[in-house]
Each structure stands twice: as structure tokens, then as C-alpha cells.
Amino acid sequence: MKSPLPAPPLGECHIPAPSPLQSTSQSGSGEGAFLFFLFCQGDLLLTSEGKIPFATKPPIELKPWEVVTKIKCPLPAPPLGECSSPDERGGCGNEALPKKESGVGAVVGLLSSPVTDRPDLQMVPLRKTFHILSPSDYQLAGKCAELVYFHQNNKFCGVCGGQMRWHTEISKQCQECGKELWPSLATAIIVRIKRDDEILMVHAHNFRDRHYGLVAGFVETGETLEECVRREVWEETRLRIHNIRYFASQPWPYPSGLMVGFTADYLSGEIELQRSELSDGGWYSRDNLPYLPDPSSIAYRLIMDWVNN
């Protein structure tokens, strides 16, 4: 089983964005080089080896309007000499890191069209990069994707209509009235419900394949996470639960979410599915599991935690 590992504390890199194409890496770790997180239609640009491009120049020519922002990452930069020379296209990821910590600059971009004519580069759906990138690179790519989404949806002020420009790495400010805006997260709960030696698994209409997952739903204004767990379970299955316990959380950049995982025990009731949301559901034992969610999801981690324990 492959599950996301703890990533570097990205929350510690909220500093003013560097000037255009000015590297924030330190000497000895690829000075003048950047990580390039370039997106197009939900895909991320990787090298043919499945790495985030890391070089002193963009892997493709970037038009000024395609550069969304620049950030500083608290990740040690890979030694430039071990992956590509300053003049080469492409680069490498972060699995061969020097022991001495250093920062590295990252350029976040939104391409006007996908790259299809470069054998040394490939466009990969962001969700699939979970199986290709290191855990820290995958989480950082998700952060950059959320910044792209934030940029696309907040070009003008909602108060006065003025132009919004980057103020810090993760905020924009109106050039007219000064209103500052940060990316918003759509917080959702997901819960594994156990009854004796079985767990409740459901299939939602919006699932892209035949896998079964767990009861989940968005937190509403004015309710606690625990209240949301109880409400979603009742609305979707008409079951009562108790012993609600926190499990883990996971950034979910599709497009800008945070999944908060819980476990709970069955208390009472018979399953009555909310047909507008769910197409099927039931109790499953370890030796009778349906098709499982993708390992990139916290649903998979919740299920496998129960299976293995």
C-alpha cells in the first residue's frame, strides 16, 4: 500500500513572492535554478522521467501572462549537476536531496496550450502524479494547483471591482480599496463507520468508476466537524452513530479542498440511501470488499487502516 507521507510544513513558506525568475535557492544546491510547476487543463508538466522540471530556464518558453506567481519552498533543492545542466531542458525531482537544508524557488504557471511536441516532456493529470512524484512533490504540486485556481477566480475585487494583484505568496490585494483575499478551502468530512466486523461503504453518482468509498460531505456554515459527520451520515443513510474520532486530514486540490477523516461506530438504524447522492451501499467485511478507491485518497487510507488492524 502506498499512502501519503508527512510532507514538509508548507505553511512555513508564506513569504512575499520573489521577483520574476529570481531563484531563491542557496549556493551549493542549484543556484539560479527553479522548480517549474506548469499546468494546463488540469494536467501538470513533467519530464519524460516523471520529474518536476528543475533548471535555470523554463522547460518551455513562457509568455508573461502564463506565469501565475513564484513561491519559495522549504524543500532542499536537488543538486543541479546530478540531474541537468543549466542549459538543458527538463530537470529532476526531490528524491536525491542534500542533507543540508536550503530553500528553492518555484515558478507556478498556467499554460495556454498543452505541450504535445516534446519527447522529453509529458502532460500528466494532477491526480495521477500521486503515483509518480515523491509525497512532498505531490503535495507541493497540489498547493501550486490551488494557487492557480485562486488566481483564475480572483482577478477582480468583489467589493469595488478593482484589479487584484499578488500581495504575498498566498494572498491578493485590491489595487483600489486595499481589500486582501486568501484562498478559501472547501472543507469536507469523510467517515469510516464500523459495525461489528464490517464497515459501511457506498457508491456515489459522481464517482468516475465503479469503486466504493465512505460517507462524505461538505461542512456547512455554523457547524462543527463532529456535527457535520453526524448530519451527513443521517442524511445519506439514516443511520445513527457514536464514538466519533479524528483520523487524519488531507489536502484535496480538486480544485481547492481539505478532507478531514473520522472513524465512528454504528449505533442504530437501517440503511436508507439518499438516492439523489448514492447509487448503492452496504456493510462489507474484510474478505468481501468491493472495488476500492484510489490509493491517493484518504478514503483508501481509512479503509486499509481498518483492514490491516
pLDDT greater than 50 at residue 61: yes
pLDDT for the residue 286: 96
pLDDT of residue 7: 35
The count of C-alpha atoms lying within 13 angstroms of the C-alpha of 266, restricted to the half-sphere facing its C-beta, is 19
Q: How far apart are CA 272 and CA 61, in angstroms?
A: 55
pLDDT band at 91 (very low <50, low <70, confident <90, very high): very low
> Residue 33: pLDDT above 50?
yes
Residue 257: is it exposed, middle or buried by C-beta count within 10 angstroms (0-12/13-18/19+)? middle
Residue whose C-alpha is closest to residue 69's, from 184, 187, 183: 183
Average pLDDT over residues 139-168: 97
pLDDT, tens digit, 9 for 90 and up, residues 233-262: 999 999 999 999 999 999 999 999 999 999
- Tens digits of per-residue pLDDT, 190-207? 999 999 999 999 999 999
CA distance linking residue 216 with residue 222, whole number of Å:
18
Q: Pairing mode, if any, of strands 257-268 and 186-195?
A: parallel
- Greater confidence, 103 or 56? 56
Closest CA to 24 of 61, 63, 68, 75: 75
User: Measured between alpha carbons, how far is 51 from 238 in angstroms, rounded to an integer?
Assistant: 46
Percent of the chain with pLDDT over 70: 80
Cα distances (angstroms) measured from residue 144 to each of 51, 66, 70: 15, 14, 10
DSSP assignment of 219-269, as one string? PPTT--HHHHHHHHHHHHH--EEEEEEEEEEEEETTTTEEEEEEEEEEEE-
Per-residue confidence (pLDDT) for residue 104, from 0 to 100: 82
- CA 269, 272, 274: angle at the middle one, nearest 5? 135
* Whether the predicted pLDDT of 147 surpasses 90: yes
Count of C-beta atoms within a 10 Å radius of residue 308: 8
Q: Which helix (H) or strand (E) holds 143?
A: helix 135-152
Q: Under DSSP, is residue 167 helix (H, G, I), strand (E, B) or coil? A: strand
Q: What is the DSSP letter of 67?
A: E
pLDDT of the residue at 74: 65
Strand, helix or coil for residue 94: coil
CA geometry: angle at 65 spanning 33 and 181, to 5°? 90
Residue 11 has pLDDT above 50, yes or no: no
Q: What is the mean pLDDT of the chain?
A: 85
For the stretch 213-234, pLDDT in tens is 999 999 999 999 999 999 999 9
> For residue 103, what pLDDT is reported?
64
pLDDT of residue 250: 96
At 102, is the pLDDT very low, low, confident or very high (cuts 50, 70, 90)? low
133, 109, 146, 125: which is closest to 10 by C-alpha? 146
Q: φ and ψ at 15, to 5 degrees?
A: -125, 160
Residue 126 grid cell: 494532477
CA distances from 227 to 180, 186, 216, 222, 242 (A): 31, 16, 13, 10, 11
* Residue 73 confidence class, pLDDT cut points 50, 70, 90: confident
Instruction: Flag whether pLDDT at 90 surpasses 90.
Output: no
pTM value is 0.80
